[in-house]
Every structure is written in structure tokens, then in C-alpha cells.
Structure 1
Amino acid sequence: MNSKNISKGGLTIGDIASRTGLAPSAIRFYEDKGLLTPFRNAGGQRRYDRADIRRLSFVMITQGLGFSIADIQAALATLPEGRTPTKRDWQRLSSAFRRDLDTRITQMQSLRDRLDGCIGCGCLSLKACKLYNPQDRARTKGQGPRYLLGDSASEITPP
């Protein structure tokens, strides 16, 4: 990336692509989704701020973690317009993602630890289910894999 590009009024899509590793078509896709807003220079060419590199990096990371474009768009919409987001802005934005990630981590650990045993789903096909979920007691807490959803066998009363 050439520092002259910044002084001439922003970065080209090629500069952004080179810096992020994204194809220009992907950058235009994210632009179409409202995740970044380039400006036009005096010649009418699309230009990007340096802060757009961070935006796109954030998009790539959060998408890789399974967040939807809509979730990412809503989060990025909370960043200030007209100025480069500060560290505090990014910390505020990331706190909601942190809470969601903490929940996902807890769920994944539970899945890892319980998937080979009874998960309270009502199938009663494993010998362990006869011990932990006799007569499908877990159904009293609702549908689905109750133990993976946070219920414990000791909290479930017989029907």
C-alpha cells in the first residue's frame, strides 16, 4: 500500500484488497451489504478510509465465528459516522460479541462433554439414558436436548 494513496484522498479497492487479502468482488459485496461506505474522489473513483481495513478485518473474523451479515451490519452501524472509530468505540462494539462468544463457548464445552452420553433428547436409545433420563423425564422441561440446553438431570422431576 502506497502512502501517496492516502494523501491523494483515500485508498483504492486494490489497496484494500492487498491489505485484507479479500478479492475486490468480496469488498464490493460487503459494500453492497452496508458494512462499509467508500467515498468518491474528485474523479468519481471509489476510495476507502484506512479504518475500512479494520472494519473488513472485523467482518472476516466475526463471519468466521458464525455471525450473520445482519448481526455484523447491526454492530458496525453503532460505530460513529464522520470519524475514525476509536479504541473505545471498538471495545464497546466487541463487548456484545464477547458475551455471545462466552455463551457459545459454554455451549460447545457442554456439547463436547455430553455428546457421547445422554443429552436429554427423548430418544432413550443409549443405556445411559435409562440412568439419566428414565421414562424421558427431561421432556418436562421442554423440547430438545434438555441437558445440552442447560438443564441437569438432578433438576428434572419425574412426569
Structure 2
Amino acid sequence: MLRLNVSMKSSENGGAGTLSIGALAARFGLATHVLRHWETMGLLHPGRDAGGRRRYGADDLTRVATILILKEAGLALNTIGSLSATVDRTARYKILRPVAEELRSRIAAAQTSLELIEGGLNCEYEDVTQCPNYRRLIAERVGPEVRPESQ
């Protein structure tokens, strides 16, 4: 879910089934100041109880989970804010396309790293640099040999 603007505020359900800022933060392993910061950035819009304390409902849980997933994907908070503020498909594409390309690149690099590590784990040679898989991966990284120019 990329759309963060949910019309119902937490306070509209009368406070039933809502969480305090501390309970919401604990649920996601966050510090409460993180949620307050996201609120100042316009990413969260918690309801308030009669005493003025923040109350978070199901929609807020969805927003926090979405923000965390998008941050893990590499999006900055201001980008997440821009994304949540738009319903235009073209604008969403312009925001997400470069992020998707960067994520694909990171995944490819992680796959190569994992292949090297697993090759080391499965290598039967005393010296891992002698393993055929290791040598292939290193050769791919180094590229073609550079030959001295003839004079």
C-alpha cells in the first residue's frame, strides 16, 4: 500500500481500540520521538483523547508499517511524504522508478556477495582463493586483463 492518506482519524472511533504513543512505538520497536517527528512531517495524523494525548488506531498502524517498509526500500521521509501526498500515477512513477532501479542494483550486489560467501562456505580448498567459484567471481569483477601497449 503506497497511499498513506486515510481519511478517518484515530479520534473518530471514540478512542476504542486505539494505542498510546508509547504502545505504538513499542509495537514497532521505535522511540516515541520518531513518531512525533513523523507527525511534524505530516506523515502521521493521530487523533487526540479528551486530555490531548495522541491516540493511534488501525489506520495509523498501517501508515507506520508502510513508512517502515518504504524506508527499508531506501526512500527518504520527504520522498515518502511526497508519495503519500499524490494520487497521480505519473507522479508516483517518477518518484518510485529511480528507487526501484537502485533497489534492483542493491539486490544484485547482495546476490553476488552471497554467492561469494556461500562459495567460501562450500569450498574444499584450504585457501579459499583457489576455489573455482571464487576465482570466477573475482575475474568477473576485475574484468578483462589489461595488456601492456606495444611501443
Please, what TM-score do these two structures have when normalized by structure 2? 0.51
Unaligned runs of 5+ in 1: 1-5, 80-91, 119-125, 131-159
Cα deviation, residue 76, structure 1: 2.0
> What corresponds to 1:38 in structure 2?
46
Aligned to 2:145, which of 127, 131, 141? 127
Unaligned runs of 5+ in 2: 1-12, 113-136
> What corresponds to 1:8 in structure 2?
15
In 2, are the aligned partners of 1:16 and 1:48 still within 8 Å (CA)? yes
Higher relative contact order (CA 8 A, sep 6+): 2
- Distance in 2, matches of 1:71 and 1:98, equals 9
Map 1:99-114 onto structure 2 (within 5 A): 99-100=97-98, 102-108=100-106, 109=108
In 1, are the aligned partners of 2:46 and 2:55 still within 8 Å (CA)? yes
Cα deviation, residue 13, structure 1: 0.5
- Distance in 1, matches of 2:27 and 2:141, equals 44
Cα deviation, residue 52, structure 1: 1.0
The structure in which a higher percent of residues are helix is 2
Cα deviation, residue 7, structure 1: 5.3
In 1, are the aligned partners of 2:73 and 2:103 still within 8 Å (CA)? no
Report SS of the residue matched to 1:54. Answer: helix
CA deviations 1:48-101 (Å, max 9, x no partner) are 22211121111112212211111111122247xxxxxxxxxxxx8xx8587555
In 2, are the aligned partners of 1:11 and 1:50 still within 8 Å (CA)? no
Cα deviation, residue 46, structure 1: 1.6
Alignment of 1:66 with 2:74, yes or no, is yes
- Distance in 1, matches of 2:68 and 2:60, equals 12
Distance change (3 Å), C-alpha of 1:42 and 1:115: farther
Cα deviation, residue 44, structure 1: 1.6
Distance change (3 Å), C-alpha of 1:77 and 1:49: farther
Distance change (3 Å), C-alpha of 1:70 and 1:42: same
- Distance in 1, matches of 2:61 and 2:31, equals 13
Superposition RMSD on alpha carbons, in Å? Answer: 3.5
User: Percent identity, aligned pairs only?
Assistant: 29
Cα deviation, residue 28, structure 1: 0.9
Please, what TM-score do these two structures have when normalized by structure 1? 0.49
Distance change (3 Å), C-alpha of 1:115 and 1:69: farther
Distance change (3 Å), C-alpha of 1:102 and 1:68: closer
